[in-house]
């Protein structure tokens, strides 16, 4: 397994629309394993392929305390949502920035597993937030996009400054 580099906002590659996965092969399995390792090492509760510059529709999630409940969703789609909740979010692509975002409280996701088998999964609370956040990445959307233009501009400037200082 290998650690993958994570793109940092406002990198324009984070805005790309990801394409559906069609081949459920060894290459996909390696990518999923590397993404899980990268997420755990960061550490984070979720990671989407476009964050590691692979523009394919897959995400990994683990919101458990013990960090032993890895979930993989390939070609995930929200098929039902209910309620709303406000939660403070962060993102491995937006280091050091946290902000409240309102999302559905309960969701039902349809996806495929690493062998191409379709399944449905229901989630609520933090798990539902995390899955919605990661699916947004597949559509080129970052949680910062939900904030006011003024806040977005501040975050962009702060991260660009940090990037310059770390060069
Ligand atoms: Ni994120």
Cα 89 to averaged position of ligand 1 atoms, centre (Å): 9
For 41-65, the pLDDT digits (tens) are 999 999 999 999 999 999 999 999 9
Cα 47 to averaged position of ligand 1 atoms, centre (Å): 6
Q: Residues 6 or more apart from 83 whose CB is under 8 A from it?
A: 104, 105, 106
- DSSP for 115-133? TS-EEEEEEEHHHHHHHHH
For 8-38, the pLDDT digits (tens) are 999 999 999 999 999 999 999 999 999 999 9
SS3 state of residue 39: helix
For 93-121, the pLDDT digits (tens) are 999 999 999 999 999 999 999 999 999 99
Cα 155 to averaged position of ligand 1 atoms, centre (Å): 14
pLDDT value of residue 1: 79
For the chain, where are the E strands, in sequence order?
46-48, 58-61, 71-82, 85-89, 99-103, 106-112, 118-124
* Domain 12-165: top CATH class: alpha beta
Active site residue 134: yes
pTM for the complete prediction? 0.96
Q: Is residue 135 a contact partner of residue 59, using CB atoms and an 8 Å limit?
A: yes
SS3 state of residue 42: coil
């Amino acid at each position: 397994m290998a650690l993958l580099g994570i793109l940092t906002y406002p990198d324009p590659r984070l805005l790309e629309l990801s394409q559906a996965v069609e081949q459920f092969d060894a290459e996909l399995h390696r990518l999923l394993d590397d993404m899980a390792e990268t997420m755990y090492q960061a550490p984070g509760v979720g990671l989407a392929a476009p964050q590691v510059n692979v523009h394919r529709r897959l995400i990994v999630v683990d919101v458990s305390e013990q960090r032993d409940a890895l979930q993989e969703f390939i070609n995930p789609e929200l098929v039902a949502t209910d309620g709303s909740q406000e939660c403070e979010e962060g993102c491995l692509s937006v280091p050091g920035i946290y902000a409240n975002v309102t999302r559905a409280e309960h969701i039902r996701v349809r996806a495929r597993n690493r062998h191409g088998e379709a399944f449905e999964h229901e989630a609520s609370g933090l798990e539902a937030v995390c899955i919605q956040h990661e699916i947004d990445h597949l559509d080129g959307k970052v949680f910062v996009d939900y904030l006011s233009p003024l806040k977005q501009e501040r975050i962009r400037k702060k991260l660009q400054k940090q990037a310059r200082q770390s060069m």
